[in-house]
Amino acid sequence: MKTILTISRQFGSGGRLIGRLVAEKLGIPFYDREIIDLAAQKSGFASEFIKENEQKLKGLSTYAHTAPLWGGGLWGNFDNFESRIYAAEAEAIEHYASLGGCVIVGRCADYVLKDKAECLNVFIHADIESRAKRVIEVYHDESDEKRAQKLVRDADRLRARHYRYYTDAEWGDSANYHISLDSAKLGIEKCVELLVRAYQVVEESSKEE
Amino acid sequence: MKTILTISRQFGSGGRLIGRLVAEKLGIPFYDREIIDLAAQKSGFASEFIKENEQKLKGLSTYAHTAPLWGGGLWGNFDNFESRIYAAEAEAIEHYASLGGCVIVGRCADYVLKDKAECLNVFIHADIESRAKRVIEVYHDESDEKRAQKLVRDADRLRARHYRYYTDAEWGDSANYHISLDSAKLGIEKCVELLVRAYQVVEESSKEE
Q: Is the pLDDT of residue B12 over 90?
A: yes
- Which pLDDT value is given to residue B75? 45
Q: Find the mean pLDDT for residues A162-178.
A: 87
- Which pLDDT value is given to residue B171? 86
Instruction: Using an 8 Å CB-CB cutoff, list residues of chain B that contact chain A.
Output: 120, 123, 125, 172-175, 177-182, 185-187, 190, 193-194, 197-198, 201-202, 205
Q: Find the mean pLDDT for residues A148-162.
A: 88
Residue A175 within a domain: yes
The H or E element spanning position A31 is strand A30-31
Q: Is the pLDDT of residue B117 over 80?
A: yes
- Which pLDDT value is given to residue A196? 96
- Which pLDDT value is given to residue B186? 95
Q: Find the mean pLDDT for residues A47-56.
A: 79
Q: Is the pLDDT of residue B126 over 90?
A: yes
- Which pLDDT value is given to residue A56? 60
Q: Is the pLDDT of residue B149 over 60?
A: yes
Q: Is beta strand A179-182 parallel, antiparallel or unpaired with respect to B179-182?
A: antiparallel
- Which pLDDT value is given to residue B49? 86
Residue B17 within a domain: yes
Find the residue in A nearest to B10 (Cα): A175
Residues in chain B with CB shorter than 8 Å from the CB of A202 are 185-186
Q: Tens of pLDDT along B65-79?
A: 444 444 444 444 555
Amino acid residing at B136: I
CB contact under 8 A, A187 and B173: no
Q: Is B69 exposed, middle or buried (0-12, 13-18, 19+ CB in 10 A)?
A: exposed
DSSP state, residue B179: E
- Which pLDDT value is given to residue B63? 43
- Which pLDDT value is given to residue A60? 42
Contacts 24+ apart (CB under 8 A), A193-198: A193/B197, A193/B201, A194/B194, A194/B197, A194/B198, A194/B201, A195/A5, A195/A18, A195/A22, A195/A122, A196/A22, A196/A25, A196/A26, A197/B193, A197/B194, A197/B197, A198/A120, A198/B186, A198/B190, A198/B194
Percent of chain A's residues with pLDDT above 70: 86
Please, how many CA atoms are within 13 Å of residue B160, restricted to the half-sphere of its CB? 11
B18: confidence class by pLDDT, cuts 50, 70, 90:
very high
Residue B51 vs residue B6, higher pLDDT: B6
- Which pLDDT value is given to residue A141? 67
Residue A130 within a domain: yes
Q: Find the mean pLDDT for residues B177-181.
A: 96
- The domain tally of chain A equals 1
CB contact under 8 A, B177 and A174: yes
Residue A127 within a domain: yes
Q: Find the mean pLDDT for residues A67-85.
A: 57
DSSP state, residue A187: -
Residues in chain A with CB shorter than 8 Å from the CB of B202 are 185-186
Rounded-to-integer distance, Cα B157 and Cα B171, Å:
10
Find the residue in B nearest to A126 (Cα): B175
- Which pLDDT value is given to residue A58? 43
Percent of chain B's residues with pLDDT above 90: 48
- Which pLDDT value is given to residue A121? 96
Which of A3-17, A186-200, B139-153, B193-207 has the lowest average pLDDT?
B139-153
The H or E element spanning position B98 is helix B73-98
Residue B209 within a domain: no
B56: confidence class by pLDDT, cuts 50, 70, 90:
low
Q: Domain with B166 in it: what CATH number?
A: 3.40.50.300
Range(s) of the domain holding residue B167: 4-204
Q: How far apart are the CA of B134 and the nearest CA of chain A, in angstroms?
A: 17
CB contact under 8 A, B186 and A202: yes
Determine contact, residues A178/A121, Cβ cutoff 8 Å: yes
Amino acid residing at A52: E
Amino acid residing at A112: V
CB contact under 8 A, A177 and B175: no
The CA-to-CA distance between both ends of chain B, in Å, stands at 14
CB contact under 8 A, A197 and B197: yes
Residue A209 within a domain: no
Rounded-to-integer distance, Cα B21 and Cα B15, Å:
10
CB contact under 8 A, A186 and B172: no
DSSP state, residue A30: E
Of the candidates A125, A187, A197, the beta carbon closest to that of B205 is on A187
ipTM of predicted complex: 0.83
Chain A interface mutation, best of B174, B183, B206, highest count of A Cβ atoms under 10 Å: B174
Please, how many CA atoms are within 13 Å of residue A87, restricted to the half-sphere of its CB? 10
Residues in chain A with CB shorter than 8 Å from the CB of B172 are 173-175
For all residues of chain A together, what is the average pLDDT? 85
Residues in chain B with CB shorter than 8 Å from the CB of A193 are 197, 201
Q: Find the mean pLDDT for residues B41-67.
A: 66
Residue A33 within a domain: yes
Beta strand segments in chain B, E: 4-9, 30-31, 102-105, 119-125, 179-182
What sections of A5-120 are H helices per DSSP?
15-26, 33-43, 47-53, 59-63, 73-98, 109-112
- Which pLDDT value is given to residue A71? 44
Q: Tens of pLDDT along A86-128?
A: 889 999 999 999 999 999 998 889 999 998 989 999 999 999 9
Q: Is the pLDDT of residue A15 over 70?
A: yes
Q: Find the mean pLDDT for residues A38-60.
A: 76
User: How far, CA to CA in Å, does A51 sit from each of A33, A108, A161, B58, B126?
Assistant: 9, 15, 18, 53, 35
Q: Is the pLDDT of residue A76 over 80?
A: no
- Which pLDDT value is given to residue A101? 96
A200: confidence class by pLDDT, cuts 50, 70, 90:
very high
CB contact under 8 A, A174 and B123: yes
Q: Find the mean pLDDT for residues A142-157.
A: 86
